[in-house]
């Protein structure tokens, strides 16, 4: 069951120690080839949902299946998920490629050179990968962070607000990166609080508000038919 589906979430609930329910009922799926946007205003529960997926926090209830394997602490299937963690600590005096290599060595996992090259290629870093990071723009740093999440070419890529702080050309580049990544049967789950961004970057959208899913489906349907969605997720 679900063996070929990158992600199936059923009845996810997360109540924090102080009793606050950040996610009260979340169900959705991410299939191969899809770029799914988890869309909602600040505080909707997006980060909490993604942190559960990355194994960083335990759900209070519900089940997560990654390629048919139940996700539990220490699941080997976590290695099939690539994640962008907040503010990865790059070493500014080293080149982009040196940073990626040192990160990967620390994971202790084997990696083919071809995978390395493909991740860098998809991230659109080009020759700047051989420059020191201190010369990078914010957008390039962000793409390096994404390249890091893509090393090993995980079949499911999970990114929390990857376009935060980027300017429009950088956002357009990020959009191409995500689309490229999802081709060839991989899948991407990305959070955002901007409807326009999800509309342009994603094939599907899951709209979450106050810990509950209020709409889900192909992005054309979500954007076209739901004025309430637009109202709910518009920037304050
Ligand atoms: P943002 O875009 O601001 O990150 P979000 O949709 O990702 O929003 P979450 O970060 O998941 O939302 O937070 C959902 C709610 O859970 C927020 O109201 C937040 O204050 C609360 N919350 C997050 N972490 C904790 C915690 N450790 N303990 C208690 N409440 C928390």
Reported as a single tens digit per residue, the pLDDT across 191-224 is 999 888 999 999 999 999 999 999 999 999 988 7
Contact predicate 12/49, CB 8 Å? yes
Protein residue closest via CA to atom 1 of ligand 1 = 42
Q: Whose CA is nearest to atom 10 of ligand 1?
A: 47
Burial of 197-231, coded b for 16+ CB within 10 Å and e otherwise, reads bbbebbbbbbbbbebebbbbeebeebbeebeebee
How far, in Å, from the CA of 56 to the mean position of ligand 1?
14
| Cβ 43 under 6 angstroms from ligand 1 | yes
> Which value does ipTM take for this structure?
0.94
| Ligand 1 atom nearest to 41, measured from its CA | 6
User: Does any ligand 1 atom lie closer than 6 A to the CB of residue 47?
Assistant: yes
DSSP 8-state class, residue 154:
-
The pTM for the full model equals 0.91
- Sign, Cα dihedral of 135, 118, 64, 234: positive
Residue 159 CB partners (closer than 8 Å, separation 6+): 83, 84, 146, 149, 178, 188, 189, 190, 191
């Amino acid at each position: 069951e679900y063996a070929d589906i990158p992600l199936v979430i059923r009845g996810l609930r997360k109540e924090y120690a102080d009793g606050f329910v950040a996610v009260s009922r979340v169900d959705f799926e991410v299939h191969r080839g899809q770029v799914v946007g988890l869309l909602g205003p600040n505080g909707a529960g997006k980060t909490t949902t993604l942190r559960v997926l990355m194994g960083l926090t335990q759900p209070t209830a519900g089940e997560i299946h990654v390629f048919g394997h139940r996700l539990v602490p220490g699941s080997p299937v976590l290695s099939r998920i690539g994640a962008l963690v907040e503010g990865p600590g790059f070493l500014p005096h080293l080149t982009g490629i040196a940073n990626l290599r040192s990160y990967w060595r620390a994971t202790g996992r084997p990696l083919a050179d071809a995978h390395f090259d493909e991740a860098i290629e998809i991230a659109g870093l080009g020759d700047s990968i051989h420059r020191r990071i201190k010369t990078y723009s914010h957008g390039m740093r962000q793409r390096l962070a994404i390249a890091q999440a893509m090393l090993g070419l995980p079949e499911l890529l999970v990114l929390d607000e990857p376009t935060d702080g980027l300017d429009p050309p950088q956002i357009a580049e990020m959009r191409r990166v995500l689309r490229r990544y999802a081709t060839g049967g991989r899948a991407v789950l990305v959070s955002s609080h901007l409807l326009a961004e999800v509309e342009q970057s994603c094939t599907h959208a899951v709209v979450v508000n106050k810990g509950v899913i209020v709409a889900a489906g192909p992005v054309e349907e979500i954007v076209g038919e739901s004025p309430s969605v637009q109202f709910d997720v518009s920037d304050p």
